[in-house]
Amino acid sequence: MSKIGIMGGTFDPIHYGHLVTAGEARWQFELSQVVFVPNRHPPHKEPREVSDPEHRYLMTFLATVTNAHFTVSRIEIDRPGPSYAIDTIRELRRTRDGDDLYYITGADALQQILHGEWRETEQLLGLCRFIAASRPGYPVDSSVWSSANHRLGERLRNVQTMEIPAMAISSTDIRARVRDGRPVKYLLPEAVEEYIAKHRLYSGMPAETHPRGA
Ligand code: ATP
Ligand code: MG
């Protein structure tokens, strides 16, 4: 039986906040590996608001390929329609029967979960554990937990929090920096920075190239 971390996200683009979170979760919870799962279509966003899933998949691959404990899954990229965590966890439960699954998030995603904003939150908390990392700007105070308590009760035992070195980095800020011509160096891996420049992502120029040249 293995302890597997699942790091879901839009990764538009992936940055050091994601990588530090995954690395700390692996260390603190003694996970054997962390599987990064870029979504195809984030449920709360219009498809045209996010970059092509293949770009996001390839950037996630570039950022994680040198870490022996990190892998990337196409499970959500290849599933049509909105990407719900519950569908992904159900599928992973089938293929990884016997493994312990730990879904890793930041504090902002934890707040959504505790407010019941994710599809089938209760069932989700029954199928895997959650590890929520601290994130600047998103305090997880006791009021959030107590309001969640009414709905989720016992299931909250499956949610744990972890402190990580504060990383005030977001994909939103990186996209704005690229668009405005401000530096992004040291906020994300160099290979991802170069990929963004090569494909002119986020620069506001209309001709965004498809990763496979289509
Ligand atoms: P955006 O600004 O486009 O929403 P993001 O930086 O929040 O992007 P996501 O792909 O939305 O990145 O996040 C994927 C997961 O990583 C979420 O659970 C989020 O809470 C977590 N996360 C992202 N950045 C950080 C960070 N700096 N510290 C801790 N957790 C983070
Ligand atoms: Mg986000």
Mention the CATH class of domain 3-171.
alpha beta
Pocket test for ligand 1, best of 7, 18, 41 (most atoms within 8 A of CB): 18
Q: In Å, how far are 50, 55, 134 from 108, measured between CA atoms?
A: 19, 24, 9
Q: How do the domains of the chain map onto residue ranges?
A: 3-171
How wide is the angle at C-alpha 74 spanned by C-alphas 91 and 123, nearest 5°? Answer: 30
What is the 10 CA–ligand 2 centroid distance (Å)? 7
Q: What is the pLDDT along the chain (214 residues), one digit of tens a residue?
A: 899 999 999 999 999 999 999 999 999 999 999 999 999 999 988 878 899 999 999 999 999 999 999 999 999 999 999 999 999 999 999 999 899 999 999 999 998 998 889 999 999 999 999 999 999 988 766 666 776 666 788 888 899 999 999 999 999 999 999 999 999 999 999 999 999 999 999 997 544 445 555 4
Atom of ligand 1 nearest to the CA of 11: 10
